[in-house]
Structure 1
């Protein structure tokens, strides 16, 4: 079926409660039974029909009581306070799974969510160097995430690893990092040295947009 022409492209960073590598990426069960974490994307290039979305940022805090595919999740979205009403409506449509195939990342994860908390509009700080495996984002009083390279336990040297998923729905290739993050408010968490990932994201109505 025809959809509104839209796309969001830019760096995306995330971290969760799993060990490095995250068993979920290999059809395993979460390291600690539950799954919780944070993510953020900076939209360097984006549009929804004729409306531009360049420069906006979106983030989320989430938790599932068990493996993601078993459902029962709770999520709260965070949208750049600089977004206009029209841009907010467009982002809500995209992130909510509208105007796209049911096999996109937003619809796949959305199908596992039982409770969606009201979105928060705030200033979102963001920095990312995918090649260096470093990144951060912050929302004052709410969320903070920092990523750094995994370190060799003997020498302390940066350790490099990638996850390659040729048929992935969230990413096809991502750099793996060490994530430390905290969240306050409706979904609280505090984690140190857990699985983190960075990648160049590009999504549209039919899923990942190939480079």
Structure 2
């Protein structure tokens, strides 16, 4: 394994096709999802990133996952989307990080992935306003999640969970949740379904 000298920190959102609250999140990926397949984008905006001295700030990364009903069984199909603004050196740095070859949380996720269907370099826009997060790739995907509140209360949270992004997750609902990539023959709409967002920090 190569020298471990990288970190990615920033903002994250997801929007799966489970109703609120997703049983995968509250069971360390061991309980069955609400549907036969779990369809979810894992979207990140890197605000502070570095790999062996190369800056990775400002780049978007999205993993779109098609997993079995019990996510912990593995065999995930994953489509990777990387910000087209990444130059050649940044693309070459992100590849080994996201594949798990450089260790850290991606190394764990790699044990669950059965097939990477492709990698695309695309324009990614990530927006953050109060308790709302949105990520878009023109012509392919548009996901927006907003925190769920009781009247006159802060956003609901779940704590002490196992999740690749952290143990404390706000509960959110998607207002927009479309994905369609004809190159992979893959489309879904998760509007109104479960979502989460938070800051994340990966390193190794």
For residues 62 and 166 of structure 1, the distance between their equivalents in structure 2, rounded to whole angstroms, comes to 20
- The alignment's TM-score, normalised by the length of structure 1, stands at 0.85
Tell me the C-alpha RMSD between the 2 structures.
2.0
Aligned equivalent of 1:173: 168
Question: Could you tell me how far apart the structure 1 residues matched to 2:153 and 2:124 are?
Answer: 28
The 1:182/1:44 distance shift into structure 2, 3 A limit, reads same
Specify the SS of the correspondent of 2:95. Answer: helix
Contact 1:149 1:158 in 2 (8 A): no
Map of 1:136 onto structure 2? 134
d(CA) in 1 for partners of 2:6 and 2:161? 23
If the length of structure 2 is used for normalisation, what is the TM-score? Answer: 0.88
Pairing of 1:1-211 with structure 2 (within 5 A): 3-27=3-27, 28-100=31-103, 104-129=104-129, 132-150=130-148, 160-165=155-160, 168-179=163-174, 180-185=176-181, 186=184, 187-205=186-204
Segments of 5+ residues of structure 2 without an aligned counterpart are: none
- Partner secondary structure for residue 190 of structure 2: strand
Distance, in Å, in 1 between the alignment partners of 2:13 and 2:88 is 25
Q: Which moved more, 1:106-115 or 1:162-171?
A: 162-171
- Counterpart of 1:171 in 2: which secondary structure? coil
Task: After the TM superposition, list the runs of 4 or more consecutive aligned residues in structure 1 that deviate by more than 2 angstroms.
Answer: 1-4, 149-152, 157-160, 165-170
Aligned residue-pair number: 197
Q: Secondary structure at the match of 2:3?
A: coil
Matched residue SS, 1:184: strand
Whole-Å separation in 2 of the counterparts to 1:176 and 1:79: 26
